[in-house]
Structure 1
């Protein structure tokens, strides 16, 4: 996911600049990471089912490496790294820091143990407390570290779900959502809200933001329409039953190649009968009005074509979301799966599922990556990926904003990624 090291504290950040607020937020964020791992067994902590994912233990260690590397080593006099080997084992991508242990082999790191990683985390936490009493000029870097850990909390959940899905025992680490009455509930009608477009502001303008959300700039939007809600499991089942995965006319060239080469017939985690799907609460029945998740960009685009619509651009999505409150189903709820659709205007823009856009992940006009390792991540990945917006059921509510840009390669679908349709206004005929 968008996992940028470059971050900025933009104007109007009085609350975030308060050291006591930062200390409390730091502690709360670190504790939530450990809370997510509380239901896991020691055997779960080293699972890594594919190179794109990482084990839960590695996520706990890497986020600790961040605070040690970027805050404690350069800013706390006399601080020495807990274990110099960890600087190599838990560096993810930052060539400016040094070499990294190979990502596809992270599941082989049975040592350090869970207890050793937890002890390291707590030592770093204590050192951060000391650092915050000695200086108040590291607020931007602290905010970056906190947001970085929140990103890894989401990755921990999505990575773990993928790894657990290969176990025939269908392990569960959370409670299921209430689907008792869903069979008799109708799905709210799909309607579209009209936007006039025009010259609009795009990008972050206050508070913390990753550097890929800046600089704020103008963008021209033609009139457009945006769906009131995301696509549901029932609606996507109809697409499948109508031959959606067999109709090449619906698919981009790369997408059709992916379908053919991989033998794709349904979303990730769905069974062949299209009746159940794997969740972090174990195998659960598919509900017609539950929000669809775990489709990639190719699937999202094909569904939009089948429905006679299109995906929104990221600028359209952000413009529509500016006036909406950040409310929805987030990781804070502890459910870790999308909910059922609400019958309200522009519902679920935040939380439940990341929504694919039609926009390639590119720099904004005037973008410049920050110097050094903190600017290394976002800029160098602005190629061959697509933008998603809004957050998911595995995101923390405090982590999200309308300007947030997530990005993934178009073939990936193990994240909680879904679909919101857009369209152009109907042409009026004389």
Structure 2
């Protein structure tokens, strides 16, 4: 009898479609944590059991994302990467997998053509190999939970924070993977037997979507640092906002309401769309929301071999009686069903914004502060029970209560008369994503939030039916690019005190993206005070990449009277000689405009210059290709450096973190320690990057003394030399095993 396939084995696993609530980190037991982990892991695997064939794991449901096999493995790799960084484990499970599946995609624009990070012809591992890997990671995490030292409470600086980081990261991907599966051809799927869609209609008919007035008020945002559940870095800090009077629709906008916009030619009328939104329309050519199904073979957004697929090609979905209402059906997660007109419409920000403009110039989306004040939550406290996700008596459509949206009046209204401020679908808001005052990234995941503080990511609020864990929290703050699809809808808002402005918060950031430059960041809300609504990005790395600062930095360092980097390069050369070091490969972490990298190119076979700043990397590439770089109105050239240079063996990368693919360097020259959001994580990663006989040289300000550095890297490195050339320079080698 032949053995069972990997997919058959997956389908035999426990199909968990119910979600536990987050443990209380001030009182949880090992048993509590293990149960939450196993529930998370099982729920993630269960949503993939609907795929009919293993080959569908290698399909790309969205041309801007990776194939499903990536996401099936990705969540497991993060546990290993973060537990290792936190010191709870000492060895990897499979470095190849933990490199291959480490980094997902947050594409730079809606017309990005790279839907595979490693190229469309990349050979992914088999499903059986990935399942075996997931099994090994499951055993590893359980072993850590059962045996690692545990003290309570578990706080942000506790090693066990890494476990919950893995858990909540996986719960994010349970939801985002469900969105991708929802975009697959329905013929590829078979709805699991215990999957439960919500009723199409509510026992009580949905009446007119009336506006409810909200009086002027004040709201304080931010999660207390001692709150006993896991939180992402962007949730902490505080901000108090005065909210002028406004009114908002009691319900989310339904499919039935949105039909009027579609029938009125909303998708073909430019005046309803922002400039960015209209460019997206021209590219995507949508005629209706993504999860509506008609017979017109509307363009899909799938990638690779599915690029010609359209889910709008099922003849049985067509018009049967000539009415507009009967033209459309609805794509739920695993099935095409009759159109649930009373469910909220699923759209992205561009579509929601266009609907607002179609309704009238005075209409808009809510802000984060308005959405929070509409909720009418209890006063802010650190009590576990003040968060709805932690309360058994709080009823709404989140945490997999159903496997779909529900009618907008299915659950009772809150005390202010609003429905679905938690759950059902996420709500688009007008605010850009940014940290609160006092924002600090976490060393275990330095680039979770901060790269998105760029003015191109809009906040979403409230969670959806597929949201679990922290996603459902009253403190949750998530954001996506404006073209991104999620289980997401919106409600209308109208200001009642125009003279007092709108509490919209926008991010003033001119982040430079290689190949794209700087996108404009226009105000899309009528009547706001542009001098008050913009705040600087709280990602200080973007501040360092500011156009004027980079301009001054490059010009000052390339002035004709300065042979830039010569003292440091001279030091490196002397160290290499005195230690008899290998000169195969070098990396400059914080390469700036590349001068040091080019000088090391004359000493090493290959050099990698990495930098988080796009403008700096762009200048380095200009210098490499042309021998000079245009910086604003000025031009700088490599010819002003008198020391030996080589450019043909140097590569530059813009990176927001040390990915696992960086390894095996004979020299790592660490130059941007003073410019990082959170240096601790970067320093703790270095032992995996330097060759066993390699050299680490750190050049930083005088706050980074050897005793300070030893607190971060002393577990792996020993000091071999210390100097002071402009800055403190220390040289390290890995300790013997």
TM-based fold match above 0.5: yes
1:201 corresponds in structure 2 to 220
CA RMSD of aligned residues (A): 3.0
1:418 deviates by: 0.6
Cα shift readout 1:83-116 (whole Å, capped 9, x = no counterpart): 221122111169xxxxxx9844587666432222
Q: Distance in 1 between matches of 2:171 and 2:435?
A: 23
2:590 corresponds in structure 1 to none
- 1:215 alignment partner, SS class: coil
Gap runs ≥5 in structure 2? 1-23, 106-113, 151-157, 295-318, 320-326, 379-387, 390-394, 499-737
Q: Distance in 1 between matches of 2:353 and 2:201?
A: 31
Q: Does 1:153 align with 2:174?
A: yes
1:101-250 to 2 correspondences below 5 Å:
103-105=116-118, 111-132=124-145, 133-136=147-150, 137-162=158-183, 164-165=184-185, 169=187, 171-174=189-192, 177=197, 186-205=205-224, 206=227, 207-250=229-272
1:231 deviates by: 0.6
Q: Residues 394 and 126 from structure 1, CA distance in 2 versus in 1: closer, same or farther, beyond 3 angstroms?
A: same
**Aligned counterpart for 2:334 among listed residues 256, 270, 281:** 281
Q: Distance in 2 between matches of 1:58 and 1:93?
A: 8
Q: Does 1:63 align with 2:75?
A: yes
- 1:358 alignment partner, SS class: strand
1:88 corresponds in structure 2 to 99
Q: Distance in 1 between matches of 2:198 and 2:104?
A: 40
Cα shift readout 1:304-348 (whole Å, capped 9, x = no counterpart): 22234210001111222252845322352452x311111633221
Q: Does 1:367 align with 2:435?
A: no
Q: Distance in 2 between matches of 1:28 and 1:71?
A: 19
Q: Distance in 2 between matches of 1:53 and 1:102?
A: 5
1:390 deviates by: 1.1
Q: Which has the higher contact order (CA 8 A, sep 6+)?
A: 1
**Aligned counterpart for 2:373 among listed residues 319, 323, 331:** 319
Instruction: Please say if residues 358 and 387 of structure 1, whose CA atoms lie closer than 8 Å, have aligned partners that are also in contact.
Output: yes
Q: Residues 256 and 51 from structure 1, CA distance in 2 versus in 1: closer, same or farther, beyond 3 angstroms?
A: closer
- 1:277 alignment partner, SS class: strand
Cα shift readout 1:104-135 (whole Å, capped 9, x = no counterpart): 45876664322222222222222222223222
1:73 deviates by: 6.6
Q: Which moved more, 1:104-113 or 1:388-397?
A: 104-113
Instruction: Please say if residues 357 and 388 of structure 1, whose CA atoms lie closer than 8 Å, have aligned partners that are also in contact.
Output: yes
Q: Distance in 1 between matches of 2:270 and 2:223?
A: 39
Cα shift readout 1:135-179 (whole Å, capped 9, x = no counterpart): 2242322221110010011111111212x13x6x37443557366
Q: Residues 262 and 158 from structure 1, CA distance in 2 versus in 1: closer, same or farther, beyond 3 angstroms?
A: closer
Q: Residues 176 and 149 from structure 1, CA distance in 2 versus in 1: closer, same or farther, beyond 3 angstroms?
A: closer
2:464 corresponds in structure 1 to 392
1:232 deviates by: 0.4
Q: Between Structure 1 and Structure 2, how many residues are aligned?
A: 401
1:268 deviates by: 0.7
Instruction: Please say if residues 399 and 467 of structure 2, whose CA atoms lie closer than 8 Å, have aligned partners that are also in contact.
Output: yes
With the length of structure 1 as denominator, give the TM-score of the two structures.
Answer: 0.83
Instruction: Please say if residues 72 and 127 of structure 1, whose CA atoms lie closer than 8 Å, have aligned partners that are also in contact.
Output: no
Q: Does 1:24 align with 2:35?
A: yes
Q: Which moved more, 1:133-142 or 1:233-242?
A: 133-142
Q: Does 1:296 align with 2:308?
A: no
Q: Does 1:421 align with 2:492?
A: yes
- 1:208 alignment partner, SS class: coil
- 2:218 alignment partner, SS class: strand
Instruction: Please say if residues 356 and 387 of structure 1, whose CA atoms lie closer than 8 Å, have aligned partners that are also in contact.
Output: yes
Instruction: Please say if residues 229 and 341 of structure 1, whose CA atoms lie closer than 8 Å, have aligned partners that are also in contact.
Output: yes
Q: Does 1:378 align with 2:443?
A: no
- 2:95 alignment partner, SS class: coil
Q: Which moved more, 1:284-293 or 1:341-350?
A: 341-350
Instruction: Please say if residues 66 and 104 of structure 2, whose CA atoms lie closer than 8 Å, have aligned partners that are also in contact.
Output: no
Q: Distance in 1 between matches of 2:273 and 2:165?
A: 39
With the length of structure 2 as denominator, give the TM-score of the two structures.
Answer: 0.50
Q: Distance in 1 between matches of 2:214 and 2:81?
A: 46
1:76 deviates by: 4.2
Q: Residues 114 and 230 from structure 1, CA distance in 2 versus in 1: closer, same or farther, beyond 3 angstroms?
A: same
Q: Distance in 1 between matches of 2:250 and 2:201?
A: 23
Instruction: Please say if residues 50 and 334 of structure 2, whose CA atoms lie closer than 8 Å, have aligned partners that are also in contact.
Output: no
1:251 deviates by: 2.0
Q: Does 1:338 align with 2:405?
A: yes
Structure showing greater radius of gyration is 2
Instruction: Please say if residues 63 and 115 of structure 2, whose CA atoms lie closer than 8 Å, have aligned partners that are also in contact.
Output: no
Instruction: Please say if residues 227 and 421 of structure 1, whose CA atoms lie closer than 8 Å, have aligned partners that are also in contact.
Output: yes
Q: Does 1:358 align with 2:371?
A: no
